[in-house]
């Protein structure tokens, strides 16, 4: 006899139904509702919402710093036990900024990159300007998709200085593989924040584009004293001057989402990087140009 969870997971795997249920609903209202619900600090609401969450995900809290949470939101943005994500010490590599499933990655063709095979989009559209796009002409990109049950905090891929954050308003389409195969320019349509980090090792800048999704419209950065509510006030650029060491926490999503990491020409994917692979914070991602 099928359990409720297996039935729901079966529906989720059905592409047409998944797309219908996660995109053909009032995305903005659903996002605001879940954001409100997740913040409620009431034991019954917390327990019921976490039970519902577990129906759709394989939530593993074994590496969490704490296992009792005040709210669903408190669990979403959980911290980890010390040492749970060792950072690769090799000065010649940038590490993954987040726990994620690796999506499309590879060379940027001029200023064109791909959300999936056959679905190109332009850096100009992603970053909001041709000037920002030129930094990564013929460079490298990696798409990192955070699922709902993953650790939601993200970290510095290398030593450097955050010099600007630009965020752009937009929609909240789902960013799962089903939607990526159906919605062109999806990352450029969704709300997003581009975080530019100037590397100490090379003097070049890398950019982490935090892309919002349905149920996700907020990102918190440790080096800014405001929350970036991506439903408002975009596009806008905030100058920064925040020094970070490799592996330092940068901020967190309020729920799962996607980071598109952009690096300049001469950077190369590490040999073991593969589409569909699950990667964790601190693991090897991109090799810096040899000097």
- Is residue 48 domain-shared with residue 112, that is, in the same domain? no
Q: Which residue in 49, 71, 99, 152 is the catalytic one?
A: 99
Apex CA 16: angle with CA 15 and CA 17, to 5°? Answer: 95
The pLDDT tens digits along the chain (291 residues) read: 346 555 544 544 544 444 444 544 445 555 565 666 667 787 887 787 777 767 777 788 899 999 888 887 788 889 999 999 999 999 999 999 999 999 999 999 999 999 988 889 999 999 999 999 999 999 999 999 998 889 999 999 999 999 999 988 777 766 677 777 778 888 888 888 899 999 999 999 999 998 876 544 567 888 886 555 545 555 788 899 999 999 999 988 866 589 999 999 999 999 999 999 999 999 999 999 876
Do 132 and 194 contact (CB within 8 A), yes or no? yes
84 within some domain: no
Same domain assignment for residues 67 and 201: no
Catalytic residue among 96, 149, 218, 257: 257
Measure the CA–CA gap between 69 and 43, rounded to whole angstroms: 9
Identify whether residues 185 and 230 lie together within a single domain. Answer: yes
Q: Give yes or no: residues 187 and 282 share one domain.
A: yes
Among 73, 155, 158, 255, the one annotated catalytic: 155
Among 77, 102, 127, give the residue marking a domain's end. 77
- Would you call 6 a catalytic residue per the annotation? no
Does 200 fall in a domain?
yes
- The last residue of a domain, from among 43, 77, 111: 77
Token pair recorded at residue 115: 């959300």
Domain boundary among 77, 107, 137: 77
- State the DSSP string of 100-167: EEEEEEEE-BTTEEEEETTEEEEHHHHHSSHHHHHTTTT-EEEEEEPPTTS--EEE-SSSEEEEEEEE
For residue 162, which phi and psi values (nearest 5 degrees)?
Answer: -75, 120
Please tell me whether residues 166 and 60 are part of one structural domain: no
Q: For residues 256 and 198, state if they share a domain.
A: yes
The answer on 17 and 136 residing in a single domain is: no
Do 187 and 275 lie in a common domain? yes
Report how many domains make up the chain. 2
- 58, 108: one domain: no
User: Is 199 a domain residue?
Assistant: yes
> Of 254, 263, 205, nearest to 230 (Cα)?
254
Residues 65 and 106 grouped into a single domain: no
Q: Is 257 a catalytic residue?
A: yes
Residues 35, 82: Cα–Cα separation, whole Å = 28
- Same-domain pairing of 21 and 132: no
Query: No. of H helices and E strands in the chain?
Result: 9, 17
For residue 257, what are the domain limits? 93-287
């Amino acid at each position: 006899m099928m359990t409720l969870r297996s039935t729901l997971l079966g529906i989720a795997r059905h592409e047409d139904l998944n797309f219908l249920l996660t995109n053909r609903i009032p995305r903005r209202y659903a996002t605001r509702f879940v954001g409100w619900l997740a913040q409620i600090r009431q034991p019954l609401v917390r327990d019921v919402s976490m039970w519902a969450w577990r129906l759709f995900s394989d939530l593993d809290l074994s590496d969490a710093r704490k296992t009792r949470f005040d709210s669903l939101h408190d669990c979403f943005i959980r911290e980890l036990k010390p040492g749970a994500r060792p950072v690769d010490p090799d000065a010649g590599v940038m590490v993954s900024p987040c726990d994620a499933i690796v999506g499309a990655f590879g060379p940027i063709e001029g200023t064109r990159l791909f959300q999936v095979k056959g679905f190109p989009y332009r850096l100009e559209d992603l970053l909001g300007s041709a000037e920002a796009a030129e930094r990564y002409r013929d460079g490298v990109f990696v798409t990192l998709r955070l699922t709902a049950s993953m650790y939601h905090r993200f970290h510095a891929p290398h030593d450097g200085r955050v010099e600007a954050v630009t965020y752009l308003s937009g929609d909240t389409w789902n960013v799962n593989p089903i939607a990526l195969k159906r919605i062109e320019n999806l990352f450029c349509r969704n709300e997003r924040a581009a975080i530019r980090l100037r590397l100490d090792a090379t003097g070049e800048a890398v950019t982490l584009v935090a892309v919002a999704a349905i149920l996700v419209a907020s990102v918190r950065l440790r080096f800014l004293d405001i929350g970036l509510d991506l439903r408002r006030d975009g596009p806008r650029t905030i100058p920064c001057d925040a020094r970070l060491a490799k592996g330092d926490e940068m901020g967190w999503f309020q729920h799962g989402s996607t980071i598109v990491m952009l690096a300049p020409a001469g950077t190369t994917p590490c040999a073991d990087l593969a589409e569909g692979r699950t990667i964790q914070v601190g693991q090897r991602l991109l090799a810096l140009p040899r000097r």
